[in-house]
Amino acid sequence: MDQQPILDVRFFRTETGTEPVRDWLRTLSAAEKKAIGGDIKTVQFGWPLGMPLVSHLEDGIWEVRTRLDTRIARTLFVTEGGLMILLHAFIKKQQKTPRPELDLAKERLKQLRRRK
């Protein structure tokens, strides 16, 4: 018997129809995409999860923490009604999640909620 996902994964879509996280993933190597995708899938099938894979940031925004060969990636998301919505993703360059990265995810969350 196949396990059913707890969350369905969706990419945040801008009002112009672009999907920033999907576009960002396309810029990465195949190995990096596989690692990030695997971690997102772990969250999708195992939610709720905590550290070291998932960390709560603020305002209902969570991050998937992916270790790549020489870098660290973060995928910021929210959960709403059985969905895991990928808001923003980036390569982390400092210890703490940079405020501009978090602010961008919060702005996308506001856009998402305005559409409902």
The model's pLDDT over 26-75, given as tens digits with 9 standing for 90+, comes to: 999 999 999 999 999 999 999 999 999 999 999 999 999 999 999 999 99
- Residue 20 structural domain: 8-114
* 73 in any annotated domain: yes
* 1 in any annotated domain: no
What 3-state class would DSSP assign to 57? Answer: strand
The Cα–Cα gap between 87 and 27 comes to 17
pTM of the model: 0.95
- What's the total number of domains in the chain? 1
* 81 in any annotated domain: yes
Catalogue the E-assigned strands of 7-115: 8-11, 54-58, 61-67, 72-80, 83-92
DSSP state of 5: P
Handedness of CA 79, 68, 89, 56 (dihedral sign): positive
* 47 in any annotated domain: yes
